[in-house]
Amino acid sequence: MRRCLPAILLAVSLRAAEWSDSPAFQEFYNLRYDRALELIEKQLAGSPRDANLHNFLAYTLLYRRLYLSGALDSSLALDIGGFQRRGPVEMTPEERTRFENAVRTAIELGEARLAANPRDPQALYALGVANVHRASYAYLVKKSWREALSGASNARKFHQRALEAQPSFADALLLPSVHDYIVGSLPTWVKAVVFLAGFRGDKAGGLRGIERVAKEGKSVQVESQVILSLFYRREKQIDRAMPIMIALAARFPSNYLYRMELTRQLLEAGRPQEAERELAVLEEGARPGGRYANVSQERMLTLRADVLTAARDWDRAMEALARLESLNGATQVTQAKAWLKRGYVYDLKGDRQQALAAYRKAIRLAPESEWAEQSRRYLNKPFKV
């Protein structure tokens, strides 16, 4: 279950009802987190006893910090091992205090409402959301997976109770469905172990539940669509994944994360020419004053190298990797990533000796990184697309 936590806690991105009605909604999904926080604070000033708003505040504080630290991408759901090796997300003392106060207040308000009506679906849902935020904080900031697992388990129980009280409450179906899909996707022997621990899974049923929320959900419809696209990608159903990302990129035009994910899906589908066209859109938007001006050079150069490698444009791919390695302030981890990807290029060109040298250098640069682990894998066999 430890490996499931990032996908459950982050990809799900649970929030309480009426989120889409908040003036912060468009700002949040267009990655303008500072403005989203301002708008949520204004709403709270007028409605201080709204548990949903306190949950919105906590969620936005956490995702703003994930965004600023460069941890917000599809690897949260698809590269669990790599994400586990990353260090904790650093929040400032002020951010920690604001986050903890927001979650605590949301729980207090939800519990007060639940005391008046133990079957209040909105109170149950809000309490589930607050527990997800606590679990996310424990896993990402405190790196305490046991505490995170406990919080995620509590959140699921609250949302199951919300569904029992109101079966048509589609938003409350998302967390249980993601849990069912992930546990159902585990190897047979692992499923046997988690079954004894009290966890059940249903891969097909979980996917159907997410599909339902993607159609019928209100507050988490966007989240369910993101998850659905990522899980379709995991299932190699790229033709079902891509239309979702295309629609999200159009709906939130300043969110480069959706277009980057679409580009990677095109690469997995074996369509490098289309991926190059998406890359060109991203690079144009990344210019000063463009809609993607805040995207980091590291992200752009990494994606550029991947696209050009898939297009078998070796020289331009190597040029992008050289730029990636020499970025101002590039860490040894970033340099290791560049050397790993150099190894990919050499292997695809058939130059095995150069590939081995590149993998070994990646390992020397950052031996504990995800890039070193991948490099070790290709010491024994060449990289292939």
Of 7-11, 73-77, 93-97, 368-372, give the lowest mean pLDDT range: 7-11
Contact in structure between 156 and 198 (CB atoms under 8 Å): no
Q: What is the pLDDT of residues 215-252, one digit of tens each?
A: 999 888 999 999 999 999 999 999 999 999 999 999 99
CATH classification of the domain holding 328: 1.25.40.10
Is residue 352 in some structural domain?
yes
The yes-or-no verdict on residue 347 having pLDDT over 80 is yes
pLDDT value of residue 189: 37
Is residue 81 in some structural domain?
no
Is residue 327 in some structural domain?
yes
Q: Determine the structural domain holding residue 366 and report its residue range.
A: 296-385
Q: How far is CA 273 from CA 234, 242, 280, 311, 371, in A?
A: 22, 15, 11, 7, 26
Average pLDDT, the chain: 88
140 burial via Cβ count (<10 Å: 0-12, 13-18, 19+): buried
Contact in structure between 241 and 265 (CB atoms under 8 Å): yes
Is residue 170 in some structural domain?
no
- Whole-model pTM: value is 0.87
Is residue 242 in some structural domain?
no
pLDDT category of residue 196 using cuts at 50, 70 and 90:
very low
What are the phi and psi torsion angles at 57 (to 5°)?
A: -60, -50
The yes-or-no verdict on residue 194 having pLDDT over 70 is no
- The DSSP string of 76-93 is HHH-HHHHHHS-PPP--H
| Measured distance CA(56)–CA(203) in Å, rounded | 30
How many structural domains does the chain have? 1
Amino acid identity of residue 288, one-letter, is P
Find the helix packing angle between 332-349 and 370-377, rounded to 10°: 20
